[in-house]
Amino acid sequence: MSIYFGNHFSREAFQFDSVGNHWTQELVTRPEGFPMYHYLQTESGSGCVSVKGKTILLEQGQGILFAPFVPHSYRAWEGRWITEFATFTGSMEPYLKTMIGTDDYLLIGEEKGAEIERVIAGAVKLFETTPGNTRQLSMDCYHLLLLFSEGIPHSAAAQPAWDKYVRPVVEQIESNYMEDLSAEQLAKSVYVSPQYLSRLFVRYVGCSVYEYLTNYRINQAKKLLMKRDRKIQEIAHDVGYTDASHFIVMFRKLTGMTPVEFRRLHI
Protein backbone atom coordinates (compact mmCIF):
# COMPACT_ATOMS: atom_id res chain seq x y z
CA MET A 1 0.00 0.00 0.00
CA SER A 2 1.92 2.99 -1.31
CA ILE A 3 1.00 6.60 -1.71
CA TYR A 4 3.34 9.44 -2.66
CA PHE A 5 2.74 13.15 -3.00
CA GLY A 6 4.53 15.48 -5.39
CA ASN A 7 6.77 18.36 -4.35
CA HIS A 8 4.64 21.49 -3.92
CA PHE A 9 7.49 23.71 -5.07
CA SER A 10 8.56 22.06 -8.27
CA ARG A 11 7.29 23.56 -11.46
CA GLU A 12 7.35 20.87 -14.11
CA ALA A 13 4.78 21.27 -16.88
CA PHE A 14 3.07 18.11 -15.64
CA GLN A 15 3.62 16.37 -12.34
CA PHE A 16 1.89 13.98 -10.01
CA ASP A 17 0.08 15.60 -7.15
CA SER A 18 -0.19 12.06 -5.79
CA VAL A 19 0.36 8.56 -7.07
CA GLY A 20 -0.08 5.18 -5.41
CA ASN A 21 -0.96 1.53 -5.76
CA HIS A 22 -1.90 -1.64 -3.79
CA TRP A 23 -4.52 0.49 -2.08
CA THR A 24 -7.49 -1.11 -0.28
CA GLN A 25 -10.31 1.08 -1.48
CA GLU A 26 -13.20 1.92 0.82
CA LEU A 27 -16.27 4.06 0.17
CA VAL A 28 -15.44 7.54 -1.14
CA THR A 29 -18.07 10.23 -1.77
CA ARG A 30 -17.12 13.54 -3.38
CA PRO A 31 -20.25 15.66 -3.87
CA GLU A 32 -18.13 18.50 -5.34
CA GLY A 33 -15.70 16.26 -7.17
CA PHE A 34 -11.93 16.34 -6.79
CA PRO A 35 -10.08 19.60 -7.54
CA MET A 36 -7.87 18.13 -10.29
CA TYR A 37 -7.79 15.29 -12.85
CA HIS A 38 -7.92 12.04 -10.90
CA TYR A 39 -7.37 8.55 -12.29
CA LEU A 40 -8.49 5.38 -10.53
CA GLN A 41 -7.93 1.80 -11.74
CA THR A 42 -8.77 -1.63 -10.35
CA GLU A 43 -5.78 -3.82 -9.51
CA SER A 44 -7.92 -6.67 -8.17
CA GLY A 45 -11.48 -7.27 -7.04
CA SER A 46 -13.99 -4.84 -8.48
CA GLY A 47 -15.49 -1.49 -7.64
CA CYS A 48 -18.64 0.39 -8.44
CA VAL A 49 -18.44 4.03 -9.53
CA SER A 50 -21.35 6.47 -9.62
CA VAL A 51 -20.84 9.51 -11.82
CA LYS A 52 -23.24 11.77 -13.74
CA GLY A 53 -26.18 9.48 -13.02
CA LYS A 54 -24.38 6.39 -14.33
CA THR A 55 -23.17 3.35 -12.43
CA ILE A 56 -19.98 1.84 -13.80
CA LEU A 57 -18.38 -1.42 -12.72
CA LEU A 58 -14.58 -1.25 -12.69
CA GLU A 59 -13.12 -4.72 -13.06
CA GLN A 60 -9.46 -5.74 -13.02
CA GLY A 61 -7.35 -3.57 -15.34
CA GLN A 62 -10.19 -1.11 -16.00
CA GLY A 63 -9.98 2.52 -14.95
CA ILE A 64 -11.70 5.87 -14.94
CA LEU A 65 -10.33 9.39 -15.27
CA PHE A 66 -12.48 11.99 -13.52
CA ALA A 67 -12.27 15.58 -14.80
CA PRO A 68 -11.87 18.21 -12.05
CA PHE A 69 -14.96 19.07 -9.99
CA VAL A 70 -17.16 16.32 -11.43
CA PRO A 71 -19.20 14.90 -8.52
CA HIS A 72 -18.74 11.15 -8.01
CA SER A 73 -18.59 8.33 -5.52
CA TYR A 74 -17.18 4.83 -5.52
CA ARG A 75 -17.09 1.73 -3.35
CA ALA A 76 -15.96 -1.89 -3.40
CA TRP A 77 -18.28 -4.20 -5.31
CA GLU A 78 -17.08 -7.75 -4.81
CA GLY A 79 -14.75 -8.65 -1.95
CA ARG A 80 -11.69 -6.50 -1.33
CA TRP A 81 -11.17 -3.80 -3.93
CA ILE A 82 -7.50 -3.02 -4.56
CA THR A 83 -6.78 0.07 -6.63
CA GLU A 84 -4.05 2.26 -8.05
CA PHE A 85 -4.46 5.95 -8.72
CA ALA A 86 -2.81 9.19 -9.75
CA THR A 87 -3.75 12.87 -9.57
CA PHE A 88 -2.27 15.46 -11.91
CA THR A 89 -0.93 18.97 -11.51
CA GLY A 90 1.91 21.13 -12.89
CA SER A 91 2.41 24.50 -14.49
CA MET A 92 0.37 23.43 -17.55
CA GLU A 93 -2.54 22.01 -15.53
CA PRO A 94 -4.83 24.89 -16.67
CA TYR A 95 -4.42 23.73 -20.27
CA LEU A 96 -5.03 20.00 -19.72
CA LYS A 97 -8.48 20.21 -21.29
CA THR A 98 -6.77 21.00 -24.62
CA MET A 99 -5.04 17.65 -24.33
CA ILE A 100 -7.65 15.42 -22.72
CA GLY A 101 -10.89 16.92 -23.98
CA THR A 102 -13.95 18.16 -22.20
CA ASP A 103 -15.69 14.94 -21.16
CA ASP A 104 -16.66 14.65 -17.50
CA TYR A 105 -14.96 11.29 -17.29
CA LEU A 106 -13.10 8.85 -19.47
CA LEU A 107 -13.21 5.05 -19.24
CA ILE A 108 -10.02 3.06 -19.81
CA GLY A 109 -10.03 -0.61 -20.87
CA GLU A 110 -7.71 -3.48 -19.96
CA GLU A 111 -5.26 -2.96 -22.82
CA LYS A 112 -4.30 0.59 -21.87
CA GLY A 113 -4.86 -0.36 -18.22
CA ALA A 114 -1.94 -2.80 -18.39
CA GLU A 115 0.36 -0.05 -19.66
CA ILE A 116 -0.95 2.42 -17.06
CA GLU A 117 -0.31 -0.12 -14.30
CA ARG A 118 3.34 -0.41 -15.41
CA VAL A 119 3.81 3.37 -15.53
CA ILE A 120 2.25 3.88 -12.07
CA ALA A 121 4.38 1.07 -10.61
CA GLY A 122 7.46 2.75 -12.12
CA ALA A 123 6.53 6.13 -10.64
CA VAL A 124 5.88 4.63 -7.18
CA LYS A 125 9.30 2.95 -7.37
CA LEU A 126 10.94 6.26 -8.33
CA PHE A 127 9.33 8.00 -5.34
CA GLU A 128 10.71 5.20 -3.16
CA THR A 129 14.23 5.19 -4.55
CA THR A 130 15.07 8.59 -6.09
CA PRO A 131 12.29 11.06 -5.22
CA GLY A 132 14.48 13.89 -6.54
CA ASN A 133 14.19 12.55 -10.10
CA THR A 134 11.38 14.95 -10.91
CA ARG A 135 12.23 14.80 -14.60
CA GLN A 136 11.50 11.08 -14.94
CA LEU A 137 8.39 11.50 -12.75
CA SER A 138 7.20 14.28 -15.03
CA MET A 139 7.81 12.07 -18.08
CA ASP A 140 5.79 9.26 -16.46
CA CYS A 141 3.05 11.77 -15.81
CA TYR A 142 3.05 12.89 -19.44
CA HIS A 143 3.02 9.22 -20.54
CA LEU A 144 -0.25 8.66 -18.64
CA LEU A 145 -1.79 11.89 -19.94
CA LEU A 146 -0.92 10.87 -23.51
CA LEU A 147 -2.65 7.53 -22.97
CA PHE A 148 -5.74 9.40 -21.77
CA SER A 149 -5.60 11.73 -24.76
CA GLU A 150 -5.52 9.00 -27.41
CA GLY A 151 -8.62 7.68 -29.06
CA ILE A 152 -6.58 5.18 -31.03
CA PRO A 153 -5.91 1.67 -29.71
CA HIS A 154 -2.26 1.20 -28.79
CA SER A 155 -0.98 -1.98 -30.40
CA ALA A 156 -2.58 -1.30 -33.77
CA ALA A 157 -0.30 -3.94 -35.20
CA ALA A 158 -2.11 -6.64 -33.21
CA GLN A 159 -5.48 -5.80 -34.81
CA PRO A 160 -6.63 -7.93 -37.75
CA ALA A 161 -8.19 -4.94 -39.59
CA TRP A 162 -4.87 -3.12 -39.37
CA ASP A 163 -3.01 -6.06 -40.88
CA LYS A 164 -5.56 -6.74 -43.58
CA TYR A 165 -6.49 -3.24 -44.77
CA VAL A 166 -4.51 -0.41 -43.20
CA ARG A 167 -0.92 -1.67 -43.32
CA PRO A 168 -1.01 -2.73 -47.02
CA VAL A 169 -2.37 0.71 -47.96
CA VAL A 170 0.24 2.53 -45.85
CA GLU A 171 2.93 0.45 -47.56
CA GLN A 172 1.52 1.23 -51.01
CA ILE A 173 1.48 4.94 -50.22
CA GLU A 174 5.04 4.85 -48.93
CA SER A 175 6.39 3.10 -52.00
CA ASN A 176 4.17 4.67 -54.69
CA TYR A 177 3.43 8.20 -53.46
CA MET A 178 5.18 9.56 -56.56
CA GLU A 179 2.57 7.93 -58.80
CA ASP A 180 -0.96 9.12 -59.45
CA LEU A 181 -2.74 7.44 -56.49
CA SER A 182 -6.33 7.97 -55.37
CA ALA A 183 -8.23 6.92 -52.26
CA GLU A 184 -10.60 4.96 -54.54
CA GLN A 185 -7.77 2.94 -56.13
CA LEU A 186 -6.19 2.26 -52.76
CA ALA A 187 -9.49 1.04 -51.31
CA LYS A 188 -10.04 -1.15 -54.36
CA SER A 189 -6.64 -2.75 -53.91
CA VAL A 190 -7.72 -4.14 -50.51
CA TYR A 191 -11.30 -4.93 -51.68
CA VAL A 192 -13.21 -2.49 -49.44
CA SER A 193 -15.16 0.71 -50.08
CA PRO A 194 -13.30 4.06 -49.86
CA GLN A 195 -15.65 5.04 -47.00
CA TYR A 196 -14.84 1.95 -44.94
CA LEU A 197 -11.09 2.30 -45.55
CA SER A 198 -11.18 5.91 -44.46
CA ARG A 199 -13.05 4.98 -41.27
CA LEU A 200 -10.34 2.39 -40.53
CA PHE A 201 -7.65 5.00 -41.17
CA VAL A 202 -9.27 7.48 -38.83
CA ARG A 203 -9.42 4.78 -36.17
CA TYR A 204 -5.86 3.45 -36.53
CA VAL A 205 -3.87 6.31 -38.02
CA GLY A 206 -5.88 9.34 -36.90
CA CYS A 207 -6.71 10.76 -40.34
CA SER A 208 -8.37 9.75 -43.65
CA VAL A 209 -6.54 7.88 -46.45
CA TYR A 210 -6.44 11.04 -48.54
CA GLU A 211 -5.03 13.06 -45.65
CA TYR A 212 -2.40 10.39 -44.98
CA LEU A 213 -1.35 10.35 -48.63
CA THR A 214 -1.21 14.16 -48.78
CA ASN A 215 0.75 14.36 -45.53
CA TYR A 216 3.24 11.77 -46.79
CA ARG A 217 3.72 13.60 -50.11
CA ILE A 218 4.18 16.99 -48.46
CA ASN A 219 6.71 15.55 -46.02
CA GLN A 220 8.68 14.04 -48.90
CA ALA A 221 8.52 17.42 -50.64
CA LYS A 222 9.92 19.12 -47.52
CA LYS A 223 12.95 16.83 -47.65
CA LEU A 224 13.50 17.67 -51.33
CA LEU A 225 13.11 21.39 -50.59
CA MET A 226 16.06 21.15 -48.19
CA LYS A 227 18.28 20.82 -51.27
CA ARG A 228 18.84 24.08 -53.11
CA ASP A 229 19.06 22.67 -56.62
CA ARG A 230 15.57 21.19 -57.12
CA LYS A 231 12.91 23.32 -58.79
CA ILE A 232 9.43 23.53 -57.26
CA GLN A 233 7.83 22.08 -60.41
CA GLU A 234 10.20 19.12 -60.32
CA ILE A 235 9.50 18.52 -56.64
CA ALA A 236 5.73 18.66 -57.22
CA HIS A 237 6.13 16.00 -59.89
CA ASP A 238 8.51 13.89 -57.74
CA VAL A 239 5.92 13.61 -54.97
CA GLY A 240 3.01 12.66 -57.24
CA TYR A 241 1.41 15.98 -58.24
CA THR A 242 0.94 16.42 -62.00
CA ASP A 243 -0.17 19.99 -61.35
CA ALA A 244 2.37 22.21 -59.54
CA SER A 245 -0.23 24.74 -58.41
CA HIS A 246 -2.29 21.98 -56.78
CA PHE A 247 0.90 20.95 -54.98
CA ILE A 248 1.51 24.52 -53.80
CA VAL A 249 -2.07 24.85 -52.49
CA MET A 250 -1.79 21.58 -50.52
CA PHE A 251 1.65 22.47 -49.24
CA ARG A 252 0.36 25.77 -47.99
CA LYS A 253 -2.71 24.19 -46.42
CA LEU A 254 -0.59 21.80 -44.38
CA THR A 255 2.36 23.97 -43.45
CA GLY A 256 0.96 27.50 -43.53
CA MET A 257 3.52 28.62 -46.09
CA THR A 258 4.43 28.12 -49.74
CA PRO A 259 7.25 25.74 -50.79
CA VAL A 260 9.45 28.75 -51.61
CA GLU A 261 8.83 30.32 -48.20
CA PHE A 262 9.56 26.96 -46.57
CA ARG A 263 12.88 26.66 -48.40
CA ARG A 264 13.84 30.25 -47.57
CA LEU A 265 13.14 29.58 -43.90
CA HIS A 266 15.17 26.40 -43.71
CA ILE A 267 18.25 26.80 -45.88
| Contacting residues toward a second copy, per CB under 8 A | 3-5, 7-13, 18, 26, 28, 30, 34-35, 91-92, 95, 98-99, 132, 134-135, 138-139, 142-143, 145-147, 149-150, 154, 156, 170, 205-207, 211-212, 215, 218-219, 222-223, 226, 254-257, 265-267
Closest CB 9 distance from a second copy, rounded Å: 4
Residue closer to a second copy (CB basis): 27 or 231: 27
SS3 of the chain: the string is CEEEECCCCCCCCCEEEEEEEEEECCCEEECCCCCCCEEEEEEEEEEEEEECCEEEEECCCCEEEECCCCCEEEEEEEEEEEEEEEEEECCCHHHHHHHHCCCCEEEECHHHHHHHHHHHHHHHHHHHHCCCCHHHHHHHHHHHHHHHHCCCCCCHHHCHHHHHHHHHHHHHHHHHCCCCCCHHHHHHHCCCCHHHHHHHHHHHCCCCHHHHHHHHHHHHHHHHHCCCCCCHHHHHHHCCCCCHHHHHHHHHHHHCCCHHHHHHHHC
Q: How far is the CB of 152 from a second copy (least distance, A)?
A: 9
Q: Between residues 157 and 188, which has the closer beta carbon with respect to a second copy? A: 157
Task: Determine the Cα–Cα distance for residues 167 and 134; give it in Å rounded to an integer.
Answer: 38
CB of 264 to a second copy, least distance (A): 9
Question: 24 with 81: CB under 8 angstroms?
Answer: yes
58 versus 140: smaller Cβ distance to a second copy = 140
Minimum distance of a second copy from residue 127's CB (angstroms): 10
Closest to a second copy by CB, 181 vs 204, is 204
- Residue 233 CB, nearest distance to a second copy (Å)? 21
Distance in Å, CB of 192 to a second copy, minimum = 20
Q: How far is CA 120 from CA 7, 57, 129, in A?
A: 17, 21, 14
Residue 6 CB, nearest approach to a second copy (Å): 8
Closer of 71 and 188 to a second copy (Cβ)? 71
188 vs 219 by CB, closer to a second copy: 219
Q: Cα 117 to chain center, whole Å?
A: 17
Nearer to a second copy, 144 or 192 (CB): 144
